[in-house]
């Protein structure tokens, strides 16, 4: 399907994207590199600036048929790379530690294969979204009128998964990734001279009480339907001034749950703890939510296309029984469209995602292109029956 020079070209493309890593919301160079590459594949339409710096590249078939969308992500992470290879990130303290550079290269490879074997029916849409890591990008794309008109029948995405054998297809019916949201709690008291703490109102005791009470929500339920957990990610109290008592505290945490309703319930319980503790110590508080992700639900018939395409590609399939606790912005797409996301094993001993020594394994590019092309081919055959 891909010749050696084509694989070498995609590998070079992946490494170029790796060098120009950009944070969520500022993926200008990546979008430009992708647009330039795919313009060379003569698509029927390229939509740029979609929900930020996103782009959609459309290949039309001759006959009516399924509109099949494949998604990749444009953003990198605020992590300083520990690797020393010659294509290491040129962006200070920013690098591709989730493998989105590899996912982009795979979608570009799919574009070059489709350019040689144009769809006989339907359409293939290659969607590159910005802002995946902060959970903002999918909602922005869904709100963009130009995206709505594309009207996909079915949507797919893949993510590389370290910890699984290289090339293994990891998939699950129903809940694949949990819903999650970040909660920022700001506790407001009053400072005083450190020699006269009785003149101030320190949020210290309320903060300790909240942190203690949150332990009861840390892993409330581990079974699939009711799963929920609360993880503290940071806490701050006062300033580094030895003459001043704290007048301010901040706690950051992530709430996760099996579905959006369980997540709402967990949020209400956490809010209740903040309300009671603040009241008990006469301080005021604010709660801000951010980084919100909907649960990613895989449709069974979309999983069937993935399974059949894996077999056709000679890749082993692993149907897992428990969902991942992590979240995926793709969940916003699966609440609107039918589809599924699957994992592509990156090697059992490969460094985990978001670690400073992680790098996308280049040998996954060919496997990724192969399975996505087979999914597209099977969708066309199924719709033409
Ligand atoms: Zn990530
Ligand atoms: Zn990712």
Residues at Cβ < 5 Å from ligand 1 ion? 98
CA distance 224 to 142: 28
CA–centroid distance, residue 75 to ligand 1 (Å):
9
At 370, list the tokens.
């192969």
CA distance 107 to 264: 35
CA–centroid distance, residue 30 to ligand 1 (Å):
16
> DSSP code of 200?
S
Residue identified by tokens 């944070």 is 23
The answer to whether 247 touches 345, Cβ cutoff 8 Å, is: no
CA–centroid distance, residue 133 to ligand 1 (Å):
6
Angle CA(323)–CA(329)–CA(334) in degrees, nearest 5? 70
CA–centroid distance, residue 329 to ligand 1 (Å):
10
3-class SS at 345? strand
Picking from 100, 114, 44, 97, the residue whose alpha carbon sits closest to that of residue 71 is 100
CA–centroid distance, residue 328 to ligand 1 (Å):
8
CA–centroid distance, residue 346 to ligand 1 (Å):
14
Q: Which ligand is nearest to the CA of 134?
A: 1
The pLDDT assigned to 260 comes to 87
CA–centroid distance, residue 157 to ligand 1 (Å):
14
CA–centroid distance, residue 279 to ligand 1 (Å):
38
The pLDDT assigned to 364 comes to 98
What are the angstrom distances between the C-alpha of 229 and each of 33, 94, 259, 262?
A: 39, 29, 12, 10
CA–centroid distance, residue 260 to ligand 1 (Å):
20
CA distance 141 to 267: 26
CA–centroid distance, residue 323 to ligand 1 (Å):
16
Q: Which ligand is nearest to the CA of 73?
A: 2
Residues at Cβ < 5 Å from ligand 2 ion? 98
CA–centroid distance, residue 378 to ligand 2 (Å):
26
> DSSP code of 352?
P
CA–centroid distance, residue 317 to ligand 1 (Å):
23
CA distance 210 to 185: 10
Q: Which ligand is nearest to the CA of 99?
A: 2
Other Cβ atoms closer than 10 A to 151 = 11
CA distance 39 to 46: 8
CA–centroid distance, residue 98 to ligand 1 (Å):
4
CA–centroid distance, residue 73 to ligand 2 (Å):
7
CA–centroid distance, residue 355 to ligand 1 (Å):
10
CA–centroid distance, residue 98 to ligand 2 (Å):
5
CA distance 141 to 73: 12
CA distance 134 to 290: 8
CA–centroid distance, residue 158 to ligand 2 (Å):
9
3-class SS at 151? coil
pLDDT along the chain (385 residues), means of 10: 95 98 97 98 97 96 94 97 94 97 98 94 96 94 95 97 98 95 98 97 98 89 78 96 97 94 95 98 97 94 98 98 92 96 98 96 98 97 88
CA distance 238 to 204: 9
Residue identified by tokens 């018939």 is 301
Single pTM value for the model = 0.89
Q: Which ligand is nearest to the CA of 161?
A: 2
């Amino acid at each position: 399907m891909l010749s050696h020079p084509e694989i070498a070209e995609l590998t070079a493309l992946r490494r170029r994207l790796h060098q120009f890593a950009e944070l969520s919301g500022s993926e200008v160079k990546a979008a430009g590199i992708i647009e330039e590459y795919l313009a060379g594949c003569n698509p029927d339409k390229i939509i740029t600036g979609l929900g930020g710096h996103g782009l959609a590249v459309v290949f039309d078939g001759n006959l009516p048929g399924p509109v099949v969308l494949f998604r990749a992500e444009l953003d990198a992470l605020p992590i300083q790379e520990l690797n020393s290879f010659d294509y290491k990130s040129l962006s200070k303290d920013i690098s591709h530690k989730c493998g989105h550079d590899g996912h982009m290269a795979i979608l570009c490879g799919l574009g070059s294969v489709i350019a040689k074997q144009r769809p006989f029916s339907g359409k293939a849409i290659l969607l590159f979204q910005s802002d995946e890591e902060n959970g903002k990008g999918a909602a922005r794309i869904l709100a963009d009128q130009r995206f709505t008109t594309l009207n996909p029948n079915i949507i797919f995405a893949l993510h590389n998964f370290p910890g699984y054998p290289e090339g293994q297809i990891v998939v699950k019916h129903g809940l694949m990734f949990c819903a999650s949201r970040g909660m920022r709690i700001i506790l407001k008291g009053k400072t005083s001279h450190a020699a006269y703490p009785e003149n101030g109102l320190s949020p210290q005791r309320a903060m300790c009480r909240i942190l203690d009470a949150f332990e009861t929500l840390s892993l409330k339920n581990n079974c699939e339907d009711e799963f929920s957990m609360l993880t503290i990610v940071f806490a701050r109290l006062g300033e580094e001034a030895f003459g001043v008592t704290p007048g301010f505290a901040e706690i950051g945490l992530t709430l996760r749950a099996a579905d959006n309703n369980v997540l709402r319930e967990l949020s209400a319980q956490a809010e209740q703890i903040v309300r009671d503790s603040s009241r008990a110590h006469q301080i005021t508080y604010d709660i801000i939510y951010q980084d919100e992700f909907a649960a990613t639900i895989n449709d069974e018939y979309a999983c069937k296309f993935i399974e059949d395409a894996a077999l056709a590609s000679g890749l082993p399939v692993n149907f897992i029984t428990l969902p991942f606790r992590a979240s995926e912005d793709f969940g916003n797409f699966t609440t609107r469209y039918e589809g599924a996301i699957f994992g592509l094993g990156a090697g059992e001993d490969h460094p985990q995602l978001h670690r400073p020594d992680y790098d996308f394994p280049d040998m996954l590019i060919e496997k990724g292109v192969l399975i996505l092309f087979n999914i597209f081919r099977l969708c066309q055959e199924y719709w033409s029956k």
